[in-house]
Amino acid sequence: MVWTFLNRVKARFGSSDADFREILRGGATAFLMKALAAVSVFAMNIAVTRTLGAAQAGLFFLAYTIVTLLATASRLGLDLALVRFTASYAVESEWGQIRRLHRTALHWSLTASILVACTLALLADWLAGHVLHKPQFAEALQVAAIAIPLVALMFVHGKLLQGIKRVAQSLFVLSVCAPLVLLALVLFIGPATAVTAVWYLAAATAAAAAIGAFWWFSAVPRPRALPAIDRRELIQVCMPLLTVSVLAAVVTWSSQLILGAWATSAEVAVFNAAQRTALLITFVLLAVNTIAAPKFAALFRTGNHAALRHSALSATKLMVLFSLGPLIAMLLFPRAFLMLFGAEFGAGSTALRILALGQFLNVATGSVGFLLSMTGHEAKLRDTVLIASVLAVLLGFALIPSYGITGAAIATAAGVATQNLLGVYQVSRAHGFNTLAIWR
């Protein structure tokens, strides 16, 4: 069915372009894997909330968010840089340089993530009691610290697999394995507290990291010599991308942290349910980006700007078509979605509508972040995300104390919208086309 639809899309837009056909072919696999990931994450969220109840689930998801933010920082911008450099090296079959890149990435990311994890463990009592005003949260934070280096390992190998176009394997490692394992642990063992659930999160992440490492070493040839790579160039690319990664995570998750400091853990759980439900709209964006990111890097390196434009606009049309259905369903029946988590979660209906609109705009603007990061315009992307993150945080502090969950939704949606609309402007400046002009 997916193949039939993709073929109709190709006929509708008249694409005979080999690069877009590659995105379509890979897009079918990526679509199926991302659909599985979306279902797994959604089911995991429901299982956790129904097993733990809103209060304990709120603590678990708060820990999950902190792991996400700190793991993003400890990857040092390598996840995006790895896709770009690996895709470029793979075009020339430079496997020795890819192997050297892998070693360098492991060394850097593990060193940084272990330091971050130790810092979190040492500060857990202070953060739980004085920042988040939830002293009972300290033990969950200490356990969450264990997951941070494991997330770094998972992302390094997942992004390297993406760079060599092992789409299904990359997506399984990055998006499917951990939520599936966590779901199985919750269903078959059943955590009694948020702390136990965080232990399950660490175990699930370890499984994904191990599978990613095994597939990576099995996929890449082992040349006798490992030539040196330009570490200075890698650092120059990573530094703005580190800023981009951290600030993009701030745009998405800062409101949940601010809500955690101002509201009860049960309210955090309701907002988390609304936010993660709204993210279902973007699974097609994430699926297409998995294929498009290395393709953008390769096309830019070979100087094929016409194919770059065509592939980007055609991919955006495809993503908008796939995301309209989920958007309409969430706007019309938000309570039905949220009641799956439990009766008390229906209070997040307004927040879900707001967040869904923000995520649809994320999809409709296309792969603007990757168009910039894969083509040497990291600084433009950094400036864009910086503005969006500052806006999201300021709105969070301004709105959440008075409007609670709804204020958090407005702050998040505004940050996402600002980030992507500014991204459209930067792509227009850098590449001369507007990703919103997809129907011309």
**Residue 128: how many other CB atoms lie within 10 Å:** 21
Contact 366, 224 (CB under 8 A): no
Q: What is the 3-state secondary structure (H, E, C) of the chain?
A: CHHHHHHHHHHHCCCCCHHHHHHHHHHHHHHHHHHHHHHHHHHHHHHHHHHHCHHHHHHHHHHHHHHHHHHHHHCCCHHHHHHHHHHHHHHCCCHHHHHHHHHHHHHHHHHHHHHHHHHHHHHHHHHHHHHCCCHHHHHHHHHHHHHHHHHHHHHHHHHHHHHCCCHHHHHHHHHHHHHHHHHHHHHHCCCCCHHHHHHHHHHHHHHHHHHHHHHHHHHCCCCCCCCCCCHHHHHHHHHHHHHHHHHHHHHHHHHHHHHHHHCCHHHHHHHHHHHHHHHHHHHHHHHHHHHHHHHHHHHHHCCCHHHHHHHHHHHHHHHHHHHHHHHHHHHHCHHHHHHHHCHHHHHHHHHHHHHHHHHHHHHHCCCHHHHHHCCCCHHHHHHHHHHHHHHHHHHHHHHHHHHHHHHHHHHHHHHHHHHHHHHHHHHHHHHCCCCCCCCC
Q: Both tokens of residue 96?
A: 């020795």
Q: Both tokens of residue 280?
A: 């279902």
Angle at 367 between CA 361 and CA 368, to 5 degrees: 85
Give the amino acid at 261.
Answer: A
- For the chain, which residues make up each domain, given as ranges? 2-431
Report d(CA 206, CA 116) in Å as an integer. 17
Spell out the per-residue pLDDT of the chain, length 440, in tens.
444 544 544 444 444 455 555 555 555 666 677 778 878 888 898 999 989 888 898 899 999 999 988 998 888 888 777 777 777 776 666 777 777 888 888 888 899 999 999 999 999 999 988 888 888 889 999 999 999 999 989 988 888 888 777 878 888 898 889 999 999 999 988 788 999 999 999 999 999 999 999 998 887 777 666 666 667 777 777 777 788 788 888 888 888 889 888 888 888 889 989 998 998 888 767 666 666 666 676 677 667 677 777 777 777 777 788 788 889 999 999 999 999 888 788 888 999 999 999 999 888 887 787 777 777 777 788 888 899 999 999 999 999 999 999 999 999 999 999 998 998 888 888 777 777 765 55
- Amino acid 228: pLDDT: 66
- Amino acid 2: pLDDT: 44
- Name the residue with tokens 């991919």: 315
Enter the pTM of the model.
Answer: 0.78
Report d(CA 292, CA 288) in Å as an integer. 6
- Report the chain's C-alpha Rg in angstroms: 21
- Amino acid 38: pLDDT: 79
The residues near 352 (Cβ < 8 Å, ≥ 6 apart) are: 274, 277, 278, 330, 334, 337, 338, 409
Contact 375, 307 (CB under 8 A): no
Report d(CA 391, CA 47) in Å as an integer. 33
- Amino acid 12: pLDDT: 45
